[in-house]
Amino acid sequence: MERIVGGKLLSPARRHDAVWHLVGLGYSQRLSCQIVGLSRSAYRRARTRESKPDKYADLREWMHEFARDHRRWGHRRAWRNALAEGYGVCRETFRRIWREEGLRVLPRKKRKRLAAGTHRNVPAGQYPGDVWALDFQFDSTWHGKMIKICGVA
Protein backbone atom coordinates (compact mmCIF):
# COMPACT_ATOMS: atom_id res chain seq x y z
CA MET A 1 0.00 0.00 0.00
CA GLU A 2 2.88 2.38 0.75
CA ARG A 3 4.06 1.90 -2.82
CA ILE A 4 0.77 3.20 -4.22
CA VAL A 5 0.66 6.56 -2.44
CA GLY A 6 4.38 7.09 -1.88
CA GLY A 7 5.14 6.88 1.84
CA LYS A 8 3.46 5.87 5.05
CA LEU A 9 -0.27 6.41 5.43
CA LEU A 10 -0.27 8.62 8.50
CA SER A 11 -2.67 11.47 7.91
CA PRO A 12 -6.39 10.99 7.24
CA ALA A 13 -6.02 12.91 3.97
CA ARG A 14 -3.45 10.41 2.69
CA ARG A 15 -5.62 7.52 3.85
CA HIS A 16 -8.54 9.06 2.01
CA ASP A 17 -6.45 9.37 -1.17
CA ALA A 18 -5.42 5.73 -0.83
CA VAL A 19 -9.05 4.58 -0.53
CA TRP A 20 -9.99 6.73 -3.52
CA HIS A 21 -7.17 5.13 -5.52
CA LEU A 22 -8.23 1.60 -4.56
CA VAL A 23 -11.86 2.33 -5.46
CA GLY A 24 -10.61 3.60 -8.80
CA LEU A 25 -8.80 0.28 -9.32
CA GLY A 26 -12.11 -1.55 -8.94
CA TYR A 27 -12.12 -2.54 -5.26
CA SER A 28 -15.24 -1.94 -3.20
CA GLN A 29 -15.40 1.01 -0.85
CA ARG A 30 -15.87 -1.28 2.14
CA LEU A 31 -12.80 -3.41 1.32
CA SER A 32 -10.67 -0.38 0.45
CA CYS A 33 -11.45 1.31 3.76
CA GLN A 34 -10.70 -1.91 5.63
CA ILE A 35 -7.32 -2.34 3.88
CA VAL A 36 -6.23 1.25 4.52
CA GLY A 37 -7.62 1.45 8.05
CA LEU A 38 -10.07 4.30 7.52
CA SER A 39 -13.70 4.13 8.58
CA ARG A 40 -16.24 4.46 5.79
CA SER A 41 -17.95 7.37 7.53
CA ALA A 42 -14.64 9.24 7.71
CA TYR A 43 -14.10 8.54 4.01
CA ARG A 44 -17.53 9.97 3.12
CA ARG A 45 -17.23 12.90 5.53
CA ALA A 46 -13.88 13.95 4.07
CA ARG A 47 -15.51 14.40 0.66
CA THR A 48 -17.96 17.02 1.95
CA ARG A 49 -15.25 19.04 3.71
CA GLU A 50 -13.07 19.35 0.62
CA SER A 51 -15.65 21.54 -1.12
CA LYS A 52 -14.83 24.57 1.09
CA PRO A 53 -12.41 27.10 -0.40
CA ASP A 54 -9.02 27.22 1.30
CA LYS A 55 -8.58 30.52 3.10
CA TYR A 56 -4.82 29.95 3.34
CA ALA A 57 -4.26 29.30 -0.39
CA ASP A 58 -2.18 32.45 -0.91
CA LEU A 59 -0.14 31.67 2.22
CA ARG A 60 0.52 28.13 0.95
CA GLU A 61 1.75 29.53 -2.35
CA TRP A 62 3.98 32.01 -0.49
CA MET A 63 5.37 29.17 1.65
CA HIS A 64 6.38 27.14 -1.38
CA GLU A 65 8.03 30.18 -2.93
CA PHE A 66 9.84 30.95 0.33
CA ALA A 67 11.00 27.34 0.80
CA ARG A 68 12.30 27.26 -2.77
CA ASP A 69 14.29 30.48 -2.25
CA HIS A 70 15.54 29.65 1.26
CA ARG A 71 16.10 25.90 1.41
CA ARG A 72 18.01 25.98 4.70
CA TRP A 73 15.46 28.07 6.62
CA GLY A 74 12.77 26.40 8.68
CA HIS A 75 9.19 27.24 9.62
CA ARG A 76 10.11 29.62 12.47
CA ARG A 77 12.11 31.93 10.26
CA ALA A 78 9.52 31.61 7.50
CA TRP A 79 6.76 32.57 9.96
CA ARG A 80 8.63 35.73 10.96
CA ASN A 81 9.06 36.69 7.31
CA ALA A 82 5.38 35.94 6.66
CA LEU A 83 4.40 38.32 9.46
CA ALA A 84 6.68 40.98 7.98
CA GLU A 85 5.00 40.52 4.59
CA GLY A 86 1.53 40.95 6.07
CA TYR A 87 0.24 37.39 6.51
CA GLY A 88 -1.46 37.59 9.90
CA VAL A 89 -1.47 33.99 11.04
CA CYS A 90 -0.47 32.51 14.39
CA ARG A 91 2.65 30.37 14.74
CA GLU A 92 0.79 27.10 15.37
CA THR A 93 -1.40 27.50 12.28
CA PHE A 94 1.64 28.40 10.21
CA ARG A 95 3.48 25.29 11.40
CA ARG A 96 0.46 23.07 10.70
CA ILE A 97 0.20 24.37 7.12
CA TRP A 98 3.99 24.04 6.70
CA ARG A 99 3.75 20.36 7.70
CA GLU A 100 0.68 19.74 5.52
CA GLU A 101 2.56 21.07 2.52
CA GLY A 102 5.43 18.69 3.28
CA LEU A 103 8.04 21.44 3.43
CA ARG A 104 11.29 20.45 5.10
CA VAL A 105 14.73 21.91 5.65
CA LEU A 106 17.37 20.22 3.54
CA PRO A 107 19.95 18.44 5.68
CA ARG A 108 23.46 19.76 5.60
CA LYS A 109 25.87 17.92 3.39
CA LYS A 110 28.72 16.35 5.29
CA ARG A 111 32.07 17.76 4.35
CA LYS A 112 34.57 15.24 3.17
CA ARG A 113 37.60 15.33 5.42
CA LEU A 114 40.95 15.04 3.76
CA ALA A 115 43.22 12.26 4.91
CA ALA A 116 46.28 13.22 6.92
CA GLY A 117 49.05 14.52 4.72
CA THR A 118 46.94 15.19 1.63
CA HIS A 119 46.42 18.87 2.32
CA ARG A 120 50.05 19.81 1.67
CA ASN A 121 51.05 21.08 -1.72
CA VAL A 122 53.52 18.58 -3.12
CA PRO A 123 56.01 20.30 -5.42
CA ALA A 124 56.27 19.02 -8.95
CA GLY A 125 59.47 17.26 -9.95
CA GLN A 126 62.20 19.38 -11.53
CA TYR A 127 63.99 16.51 -13.30
CA PRO A 128 63.31 12.80 -13.95
CA GLY A 129 63.55 10.71 -10.77
CA ASP A 130 63.03 13.75 -8.49
CA VAL A 131 59.56 12.73 -7.21
CA TRP A 132 58.69 9.13 -6.50
CA ALA A 133 55.26 7.60 -5.89
CA LEU A 134 54.37 4.20 -4.51
CA ASP A 135 51.17 2.27 -4.07
CA PHE A 136 50.32 -0.94 -2.22
CA GLN A 137 47.92 -3.39 -3.82
CA PHE A 138 46.52 -6.57 -2.32
CA ASP A 139 45.47 -9.64 -4.25
CA SER A 140 45.07 -13.36 -3.72
CA THR A 141 46.38 -16.30 -5.68
CA TRP A 142 44.19 -19.06 -7.08
CA HIS A 143 44.66 -21.18 -3.95
CA GLY A 144 43.75 -18.33 -1.55
CA LYS A 145 47.13 -17.00 -0.43
CA MET A 146 47.21 -13.21 -0.01
CA ILE A 147 49.96 -11.31 -1.80
CA LYS A 148 51.01 -7.69 -1.40
CA ILE A 149 52.31 -5.73 -4.39
CA CYS A 150 54.23 -2.47 -4.09
CA GLY A 151 54.17 -0.43 -7.27
CA VAL A 152 56.82 2.31 -7.51
CA ALA A 153 56.80 4.99 -10.18
pLDDT in the model for residue 91? 94
pLDDT in the model for residue 47? 64
Residue 106 has pLDDT above 60, yes or no: yes
Tell me the residue type at 143: H
Residue 60 φ/ψ, nearest 5 degrees: -60, -40
pLDDT in the model for residue 45? 83
Least confident of 69-73, 117-121, 147-151: 117-121
Judge if 11 and 45 occupy the same domain: yes
Judge if 6 and 44 occupy the same domain: yes
Domain coverage including residue 32: 2-49
Judge if 7 and 45 occupy the same domain: yes
Tell me whether residue 118 is in a domain.
Answer: no
Q: How confident is the model at residue 120 (pLDDT cuts 50, 70, 90)?
A: low
For residues 47 and 96, what is the distance between their CA atoms, to the nearest angstrom? Answer: 21
Residue 6 has pLDDT above 90, yes or no: no
Judge if 6 and 45 occupy the same domain: yes
The whole-model pTM stands at 0.47
Judge if 41 and 63 occupy the same domain: no
For the chain, the distance separating the N- and C-terminal CA atoms, rounded to the nearest angstrom, is: 58
For residues 125 and 146, what is the distance between their CA atoms, to the nearest angstrom? Answer: 34
Give how many domains the chain has, as a whole number. 2
Tell me whether residue 124 is in a domain.
Answer: no
Q: How confident is the model at residue 108 (pLDDT cuts 50, 70, 90)?
A: confident
DSSP E strand boundaries for 6-74: none
Judge if 44 and 66 occupy the same domain: no
Q: Give the mean model confidence (pLDDT) for residues 97-119.
A: 81
